[in-house]
Amino acid sequence: MAAVTLPVLIDQLVSGLAIGGVYALVALGFALIFGVLRAAQFAHGEVYMVVAFLVLAVLPWFPALGALQFLLVIVAAAVFGAIAGMLIERGVFRPLADAPHIAPIISTIGLMILLQNLVAYLKGSELHRFALAWPQGNVPVGPASVPVLKLVIFGTALVIPALLQVALARTQLGRAIRATAIDAETARLMGVNTARTSLVAFAIGSALAGIAGVLVGALYGVVYSTMGVTALVKGYAATIIGGVGNLVGAVAGGLLLGIFEVFVASYVSPRWTDAIVYTLLIVLLALRPQGLVGRAIPEKL
Amino acid sequence: MRSGIYRTQHALTAAVIAMAVIAPLVIADAYIHRLMATVVLAAVLAVSMNLVLGYGGLLALGHAGFYGIGAYTAALLSLHLGAPFLVTALAAAAAAALVAWLVARPILHLRGHYFAMAMLAIGEIVVQVAYNWDSVTRGASGLPGISQPDLIVWTAVTHRDNYYLALVLLLVAMLAVRRFVASPLGLGLIAARDDDQGAASVGIGVAQTRTLALALAAGIAGVAGALYAHYITFVSVEPFQLEQTIALLAMVAVGGMGTTWGPVVGAALLTLLPEVLRDFAELRMVIYGALLMLVVWLRPQGLLGRGPSRWGLKLPGRTRPEPSAASDAPALASVVAAPVSGPALDGAATEAATATDVAPARAAPTVLTVPEPAPTGVPLLRVEHLTKDFAGLRAVSDVSLEVAPGEIVGLIGPNGAGKSTIINLISGAHRPTSGRIWFNGQDITNSETSRVARAGLVRTFQHIRLFRSLTVRQNVEAAYQVRLGLSLLSVMTRSRRYREAMEEMRVAVDEALALFGLEGVQHQLAGTLSYGDQRRVEIVRALVTQPRLLLLDEPAAGMNEAESAELAQFLREIRQRHSLSIILVEHHLDVVMEVCDRLIVLDHGTVIASGRPDEVVRHPEVLRAYLGGSA
Amino acid sequence: MSRRPLRWVSALFVIALLVAGCGSPGDAADSDEIKIAVVGPMTGDAAQYGEDFTRGAQLAAEQINAAGGVDGKQITIVTFDDRNDTTEAASVAQKIATDSSIVASMGHFTSSTVYAAMPIYKSNQLPLVVISASDPGITEQGNEWVFRVSPTNNLGAEAMADLIVNELGLKKIAIFYLNTDFGKTEREFFTARVQANGGEIVLDEPYQPDAKDFSSSIIKLKNAGADAVYLSSYYNDAVLLIRQAKDAGVETRWFTSAAVLSPQFTEIGGEAVEGVITNRVSQGDSWDAVAEAYRAKYNDDPSPFVIYAYSAVQAVAEAARSEGTSREAIRDGLAKIQGLETALGPLTFDENRQAVYESFDYLEVRDGQFQLWQP
């Protein structure tokens, strides 16, 4: 096992923050959709995957000019994600608005199976290379030398939620979203167009998933048809860790999850990482059912 | 008319079972036999999942883990000890049920998605342990060479043999689930599903009932796992992962949650579908996913679920509860009807007489019987210096009050005064920041709602919390059954104790319903009644638990003058008849003045006045609180 | 409840069963053809390998048929997808075994799928030729219906250990291994041999089959002071691991197991995998000849699995020629094979029905291709 020195710790921290950043974006998107529609979007991971493939398809048309390419990739991911989200909201959730709660869950499960296998059918289920021209190389952080890519990913995972937070607080649409998340019925009575709000929330949430998808593609250098499954489970877990419906919590949960995974894998065992993470998740829920950041749920039964 | 449907349902079931038994004798293809065996095994799992998800309302995202625990337990016992199937199956059931029991307790108070995530985590942990604990499970290599199902007198060798064995298991599982769900325990489970706070408020141990259901379901899944292990003779981690749980979820939902045959239909459909689509190779699962979405869209409540389909574009998928006077009685109602003496079927509301096989009812306590009157001179309820802070906001501040036996006390105050909070604190929904609450000599300060209710302090809710998928009668029964204290064993075996208890309940509930004029509507779904009637049901439901103190949270909300007057009369009557104390939180001052012996006025979390109604309303502080200006 | 759904659903069920029952195969064995089943992962993550199997088998069938078949009888290849899943493998094996027109089967990619399917071949008395699964235990089970033409994984691992320690003199070695039967057994043999040769394992890192993020392991590698790294992995994990390590600035020499041999490896790996060294059973001229034909048809180099599949078909054909075309005859014929000329060179089954291997070659990735290499 590696000696615990500062460069090693920095290395590990940065790795954790990078993958944690990806989880954070997925979780944020999931939480946003859940908060507004009270619906668990099981196809969220597939949006992440499909967008990654779509961007891969259009990548050859982007000028391979350093940071410009990166920016275009992010924008394209957001756009594709938003469109996918709106299609799903209209096509899957809207028709089941009055149905029993379980119905949209099953429907999105069906969508998840469909999309995963459709992409496997069209593009093959093997790994596909996803290479960006920028960022490349390493940069010194303290005594360690870390990949620029990881820092950029972490940075993106901070900037985008921050922008979102500002938009939610300052714009009318943002306020409408927050109102609908608190109480859709009341919001509607107060004149909020909840139908449009749902659509927008879904679009934003899915855009976030799409961005996460291209970021992870860049991080590992590959995309593949089953990549959405892990994203869904991790994103769901991160949302719970942070506290359901809590946006800041979702981001914090994602980052913490990523860091935690790296450290457990490094200092305990890569084989038992998942088991340990899940056990601690249960312990966390047993002790603090509202998540780390969530508001206390008052009712006991 | 009812018996006609009953006969048709019976015939249909018999036909299906006959077909299931005869088919493999007619079709000789071993591959088909294997397929059928797989379908039946999936059906067993779906039936167990339905118990938790359909009847319990719990999103058990780790259910396949119990299947896996059963399979590995059976495999290890068979390989290391040479244990035969009967032994391994029992051990598998026990192991799975035990794990379910252990993990359920800490997480069952979690709501909704938190619970789902915890269950998912458990499923994942099972998989990871199976995968990595090489020394025991051989990790990814799996455990080969397990003996075939040996039932001493016969060993299941061919696929057909195993199919029949699985069929027997399925029928046993369905019977077990049916028994549970049709029993008072099942009633408690469904009540908790419909409204867990409402269930707790009448003393139903929500967490305990759910744990029981989860353990039972896990046990069934465990036996299925044992059969799988001996049938395939090889166990590895793959069939026990999240993917399988998700498939089970789909099976139950597509078949129809909370129905008897739904999970079987769902399992058959979703297992056969990939087979039928086999020729499509890679497009197979694409089509599967699309079909899943299609079925949900067309019939969101599941194929056998209640309610209309969407054949056009405009029909909503809402399941509108229908009054049971019509011939199509709702499935659940029939399942949970008074005890029947054979496998009852959906769609038939039966009231099979149990008189012939049960000893004549002894003089069972009924709703009329007054519980041991509390000692006079000692306050029934004493609240001392109660304070509650919510994240910086002090909702209740140093409130003390007492309620004597037989007293009706009104708790009034402007909006936001803290009345509901006090009710929540007293009834156990919230924990006070400081202060004490004594009830009938017990300290109930930190007790949870169902415990408080069982001690004799029952509350109702501002927004009526009836169990909407149950009939009026069943709502009352769900509350009554708490005192029966039935065990799982007595329910499953329909023991003498059970039958006596059921008879006792029948008599008591008949009486309660008659007393309050509800016998005419007793078989209607609770949600279909008028608002006033629903209120009445809610209170009757509370009353059958023989409380000493009723906490009524704005019972007159939404009522007009006539209804309020009726309510006031009603309250006085029940206080009289049942020697109750009542705390009444109300805005309708007419009711308050009419009924209350004493008033307590709250404002901004503190008591500002207390005394006789006529005095209190003239109190300057009270006037200021309500009117805002100077008296 | 509405009784209509239950009625038509049960009716559908009956119809489905009848249709399935009537449409079942089980045609009498057509005596004009020799039908061989090829089973493996045709869809999913490992689909590449299933494709290798299919192509190899079909190429062999074509060439044999063109030269007159087996005493005039044509070889037909039918494929089956076990999705690399153990339960599915057992199910598919049952399907294959129930089809009496099939006289031999080959494949199942991993050792676990082979283990899951083996009892079914035995109970249905259908010969199975394993063409990839490398757990030595498979041919040690005493199942006389199972043969294997591919090597067991101890051989390749030991060959690599000899190369690294003895011939290249690299003593401090890190090993990353896939946490499955395949990865674990390879690691065992490799580690034992390294230590026997006087080398030292400085880092021993398992990873989960679907792992994509190796950052924590790579950080350990960076600080382990290894002269060489050995990967007991398949091509996709190897590729990810090597890339991520290179990106993190790790400088070392990379060695992998033979399972990595696949055009996918070089395609996805690109620059990052230049210089990676792996091994393979020695190819003779016959291998080259088949590779030539394969290149002509598919415009790509064949992986070893193609060759194993090809050789398996040759073995079955020979068995049919010498003993007959029934399942038992083919089994008997296979058991008798000694020094048969196949794409693999002379093929001989030992008393456990395991093909015997003598020597291994080393390959290096150069200019995006696997090329022969000498230390």
**What confidence tens digit (pLDDT) does each residue in B55-103 have?**
998 889 999 999 999 999 999 999 999 889 999 999 999 999 999 999 8
Residue of A nearest to C205 (CA): A270
Residues B181 and B270 in one domain: yes
Number of domains observed in the structure of chain B = 3
Which of B545, B88, B109, C176 lies closest to A285, judged by CA?
A: B109
* pLDDT tier, A300 (very low <50, low <70, confident <90, very high otherwise): very low
Give contacts of A 154-183 with B, CB under 8 A.
none
Query: Which of A205-209, B326-330, B507-511 is predicted with the least confidence, judged by mean pLDDT?
Result: B326-330
Cα B132 to Cα B124, B127, C180, C263: the distances in Å are 12, 9, 9, 31
State whether residue B232 sits within 8 Å of chain C by CB.
yes
**What confidence tens digit (pLDDT) does each residue in B534-590 have?**
888 998 899 889 888 999 998 888 778 888 888 888 888 888 777 788 999 988 888
Q: How large is the average pLDDT for residues C10-14?
A: 57
Which of B365, B410, B332, B618 lies closest to B505, judged by CA?
A: B365
Amino acid code (one letter) for A146 = V
Q: How large is the average pLDDT for residues C222-230?
A: 91
Neighbours of B561 (CB within 10 A): 11
Nearest CB to A107: which of B103, B297, B430? B297
For residue B325, the model assigns a pLDDT of: 27
Last residue of a domain, one of B492, B520, B538: B538
Residues B517 and B451 in one domain: no
pTM: 0.84
* pLDDT tier, B374 (very low <50, low <70, confident <90, very high otherwise): low
For residue B339, the model assigns a pLDDT of: 31
Query: Alpha carbon B365 to chain centroid distance?
Result: 26
Residues B403 and B263 in one domain: no
CB B117 to CB A237 under 8 A? yes
For residue B42, the model assigns a pLDDT of: 96
For residue C134, the model assigns a pLDDT of: 83
Nearest CB to A266: which of C219, C224, C239? C219
Residues B175 and B306 in one domain: yes
CB C223 to CB A5 under 8 A? yes
The verdict on residue B348 lying in a domain is no
Answer yes or no: is pLDDT of B113 > 80.
Answer: no
**What confidence tens digit (pLDDT) does each residue in B185-223 have?**
999 999 999 998 999 999 999 989 999 999 999 999 999
Last residue of a domain, one of B499, B517, B538: B538
CB C3 to CB B38 under 8 A? no
Q: Which residues of C touch A226 (CB under 8 A)?
A: 45, 210
Nearest CB to C44: which of A125, A222, A263? A125
- The residues, any chain, with a CB within 8 Å of residue A143's CB and separated by 6 or more, are A6, A7, A10
Mutate to test the interface with C, among A220, A257, A262 (most CBs of C within 10 A): A220
Min Cα distance C67 → chain B (Å) is 32
Give contacts of B 292-311 with C, CB under 8 A.
303-304, 306
C149 within 8 A of C355, measured Cβ to Cβ:
yes
For residue B55, the model assigns a pLDDT of: 93
CB B429 to CB A103 under 8 A? no
State whether residue C270 sits within 8 Å of chain A by CB.
yes
Mutate to test the interface with C, among B34, B141, B163 (most CBs of C within 10 A): B141
The verdict on residue B342 lying in a domain is no
State whether residue C348 sits within 8 Å of chain B by CB.
no
Neighbours of C284 (CB within 10 A): 14
Residue of B nearest to C133 (CA): B141
For residue A213, the model assigns a pLDDT of: 96
Average pLDDT along chain B: 82
Q: How large is the average pLDDT for residues C301-319?
A: 91
Q: Which residues of B touch C180 (CB under 8 A)?
A: 139-141
Query: Alpha carbon B464 to chain centroid distance?
Result: 18
A64 within 8 A of A134, measured Cβ to Cβ:
no
The verdict on residue B461 lying in a domain is no
State whether residue B157 sits within 8 Å of chain C by CB.
no
Answer yes or no: is pLDDT of B591 > 80.
Answer: yes
**What confidence tens digit (pLDDT) does each residue in C245-291 have?**
988 888 899 999 988 888 788 888 888 899 999 998 887 788 888 98
**Helix (H) or strand (E) run with residue B450 in it:** helix B449-454
Neighbours of A104 (CB within 10 A): 26
Which of A134, A122, A146 lies closest to A7, judged by CA?
A: A146
Residues B135 and B68 in one domain: yes
For residue B183, the model assigns a pLDDT of: 92
Q: Which residues of A touch C179 (CB under 8 A)?
A: 271
The verdict on residue B245 lying in a domain is yes
CB C7 to CB B275 under 8 A? no
CB A114 to CB B286 under 8 A? yes
Answer yes or no: is pLDDT of B337 > 50.
Answer: no
Min Cα distance B146 → chain C (Å) is 11
Amino acid code (one letter) for B342 = G
For residue A280, the model assigns a pLDDT of: 87
Range of the domain at B407: 373-455+548-631
CB A272 to CB B110 under 8 A? no
User: How are beta strands C74-81 and C146-148 bridged, if at all?
Assistant: unpaired
Which of B334, B189, B248 lies closest to B47, judged by CA?
A: B248
Residues B12 and B150 in one domain: yes
CB A301 to CB B284 under 8 A? no
CB B293 to CB A111 under 8 A? yes
Residues B529 and B397 in one domain: no
* pLDDT tier, B628 (very low <50, low <70, confident <90, very high otherwise): low
Answer yes or no: is pLDDT of C196 > 80.
Answer: yes
3-state secondary structure B511-571: HHHHHCCCHHHCCCEHHHCCHHHHHHHHHHHHHCCCCCEEEEECCCCCCCHHHHHHHHHHH
Mutate to test the interface with C, among B7, B148, B238, B286 (most CBs of C within 10 A): B238
Residues B367 and B312 in one domain: no
CB C205 to CB A19 under 8 A? no
B628 — alpha (psi -120 to 50), left (phi > 0) or beta? Answer: left
**What confidence tens digit (pLDDT) does each residue in A53-86 have?**
999 999 999 887 888 999 999 999 999 999 999 9
Residues B365 and B413 in one domain: no
For residue B472, the model assigns a pLDDT of: 94
CB B236 to CB C112 under 8 A? yes
Percent share of chain A, pLDDT over 90? 48
The verdict on residue B553 lying in a domain is yes
State whether residue C4 sits within 8 Å of chain B by CB.
no
Query: Alpha carbon B225 to chain centroid distance?
Result: 26
Q: What is the ipTM of this complex?
A: 0.88
Answer yes or no: is pLDDT of C233 > 80.
Answer: yes
Nearest CB to C215: which of A1, A124, A262? A262
State whether residue A103 sits within 8 Å of chain B by CB.
yes
Mutate to test the interface with A, among B53, B111, B114, B270 (most CBs of A within 10 A): B114
State whether residue B557 sits within 8 Å of chain C by CB.
no
C179 within 8 A of C232, measured Cβ to Cβ:
no
| Chains touching B, CB cut-off 8 Å, 3+ pairs | A, C
Mutate to test the interface with B, among C1, C92, C101, C141 (most CBs of B within 10 A): C1
Does residue A245 or residue B180 have the better pLDDT?
B180
Q: Which residues of C touch B38 (CB under 8 A)?
A: 91
Which of A255, A15, A129 lies closest to C215, judged by CA?
A: A15
Answer yes or no: is pLDDT of A288 > 90.
Answer: no
CB C115 to CB B31 under 8 A? no
Give contacts of B 7-66 with A, CB under 8 A.
53, 59
Answer yes or no: is pLDDT of B404 > 70.
Answer: yes
Residues B159 and B298 in one domain: yes
The verdict on residue B315 lying in a domain is yes
For residue B512, the model assigns a pLDDT of: 87
For residue B224, the model assigns a pLDDT of: 97
The verdict on residue B430 lying in a domain is yes
Query: How far apart are alpha carbons B47 and B173 in whole angstroms?
Result: 7
State whether residue A260 sits within 8 Å of chain B by CB.
no
- The residues, any chain, with a CB within 8 Å of residue A40's CB and separated by 6 or more, are A34, A104, A105, A108, A236, B113
Min Cα distance C142 → chain A (Å) is 33
Query: Which of A172-181, A186-195, B129-138, B306-315 is predicted with the least confidence, judged by mean pLDDT?
Result: B306-315
For residue B368, the model assigns a pLDDT of: 52
* pLDDT tier, C28 (very low <50, low <70, confident <90, very high otherwise): very low
For residue B431, the model assigns a pLDDT of: 87
Cis amide linkage into residue A135, ω under 30° from 0: yes
**What confidence tens digit (pLDDT) does each residue in B454-513 have?**
999 999 998 889 998 899 999 999 999 998 888 888 888 888 889 999 999 999 899 888
* pLDDT tier, B309 (very low <50, low <70, confident <90, very high otherwise): low
Residues B605 and B525 in one domain: no
State whether residue C372 sits within 8 Å of chain B by CB.
no
- Residue B420: give its domain's CATH number: 3.40.50.300
Percent share of chain A, pLDDT over 70? 96
Q: How large is the average pLDDT for residues B89-118?
A: 86
CB B236 to CB C90 under 8 A? no
Residue C357 tokens, joined: 């291997």
Q: Which residues of B touch A109 (CB under 8 A)?
A: 246, 249-250, 292
The verdict on residue B347 lying in a domain is no
Residues B187 and B247 in one domain: yes
CB A127 to CB C239 under 8 A? yes
State whether residue C242 sits within 8 Å of chain A by CB.
no
Q: Which residues of C touch B36 (CB under 8 A)?
A: 17
Query: How far apart are alpha carbons B571 and B590 in whole angstroms?
Result: 13
* pLDDT tier, C40 (very low <50, low <70, confident <90, very high otherwise): very high
